[in-house]
Amino acid sequence: MKQRKRIYYSPEQKALIWDRYKRGDSLHDIARMFDRFHSSIMPTIYQTGGYRPPERKRHLQSLSLDEREEISRCLVGKQSIREIARRLSRAPSTISREVKRNGGLKHYRAVRAEQRAWDEALRPKPCKLIDSPDLCKLIAVKLKRAWSPQQIAGWLKRQYPNNQEMYVSHETIYKTLFIQTRSALKKELQKCLRSKRVVRKSRQSSLKRLGLGKIPDAVSISERPASVEDRAIPGHWEGDLICGSNNSYIATLVERHSRFVMLAKVDDSKTSTVIAALIKHAQKLPKELYKSLTWDRGREIKDHKQFTLATDIKVYLCDPYSPWQRGSNENTNRLLRQYFPKSTDLSVHSQQKLSSVARQLNERPRKTLDYETPAQKFNCTSSDLI
């Protein structure tokens, strides 16, 4: 098979690549436009960590290529610097410096001067973390403790309210991790991110939706009291199963008001097993802190009436294909994948291990709680209600 000639993408083609990538298209789909493999697209995306380079623009007062060509023609015609300046409505000092820095009267060339000016105008803004080694060390410690960049940024503002030198945005942390040319945070710290990604991914990319089972006597989420929606009243939970290899599962529960997390070990996804685990965990809390449960339409919740009968807790089911209706739980499941990656056997984890992971999540500051921890919020709620 004859090897295809290497392709060098033009600025217009690179702009099209970034447009498609931002829309969420895969590298395979983008490369197919150019009859190439995804490996030919990767350098364009990965070189800047998935961040689109800003479009360069010429300063309004800079000399243009047309003006430089006029300077070159006038020099060949033996015109003086002041005459050239009058023709271009420029200061004589501007023309004089332009000619001197690009070869002088005899060797001035417009195209070469234009390229030199364009190259020297590139002055990237230095990353704040490069000159802040102590801040880098603190960020590295928090990343190794499984804190997200957003949690780190929010915690720094609370921890150092009067020291702006210790402030850094979460985007700066992400960019420094993904764009290794910044050389402030080590590449190994990328593994501390929950997604384990090495490049910024478009928000528009998503997974395909899966079909959901039918639940008898389901109580729709539309019948859930409006007071639950604003999260002002504690005691309303969201739940789901996360799955691993060998038909292994973990039941996840999140309290909507405080984002407090509980994890339950289940041996399988049979409705009898899951319902028994949910009943056991529900009995650990007072009734004031467990009033309702919102679940998706998985078949593991088929015997929801048995759960309600044993605990007096109402169960509401989301609409099909609507995971955002239990957004706190979906977000928590994503966080949990850092500890329980996909395609791994979840049955090897004991209930003690699950409780330890839940404790870590509950002791992290959360942006949605103004960087208070779920444990603090939940304990405060408990003391007010009990």
**Each residue's pLDDT tens digit, 188-221:** 888 888 877 788 777 666 443 333 446 888 899 9
- Condensed to tens digits (0 to 9), the pLDDT of residues 121-139 reads 877 677 888 888 899 999 9
C-alpha to C-alpha distance for 330 and 240, rounded to whole angstroms: 8
> Residue 167's closest CA among 177, 179, 154, 178?
154
The confidence score (pLDDT) of residue 277 equals: 94
8 Å CB contact between 251 and 268: no
- Condensed to tens digits (0 to 9), the pLDDT of residues 38-55 reads 888 888 888 888 888 887
Residue 181 tokens, joined: 């040319």
Class of residue 180 by CB neighbours under 10 A (exposed 0-12, middle 13-18, buried 19+): middle
8 Å CB contact between 153 and 139: no
Task: List the CATH code of the domain at 221-385.
Answer: 3.30.420.10
CA 7 to chain centre: 31
- Condensed to tens digits (0 to 9), the pLDDT of residues 95-104 reads 999 999 998 9
Query: Which of the four pLDDT bands, split at 50, 70 and 90, describes residue 26?
Result: confident
> Residue 329's closest CA among 298, 305, 284?
298
Average pLDDT over residues 60-87: 91
Q: Is 63 left (phi over 0), alpha (psi -120 to 50) or beta?
A: beta
* pLDDT at position 382 over 70: no
The confidence score (pLDDT) of residue 23 equals: 84
Query: Which of the four pLDDT bands, split at 50, 70 and 90, describes residue 323?
Result: confident
* pLDDT at position 385 over 80: no
| Count of C-beta atoms within a 10 Å radius of residue 251 | 22
Residues in the chain: 386
**What is the sign, positive or negative, of the torsion defined by CA atoms of 299, 332, 382, 232?**
negative
C-alpha to C-alpha distance for 256 and 235, rounded to whole angstroms: 8
- For the chain, give every domain's residue range: 11-46, 65-120, 128-192, 221-385
Considering the chain, what is the average pLDDT of its residues?
Answer: 87
C-alpha to C-alpha distance for 158 and 371, rounded to whole angstroms: 8
The confidence score (pLDDT) of residue 202 equals: 75
* Amino acid identity for residue 87 in this structure: R
Percentage of the chain with pLDDT > 70?
94
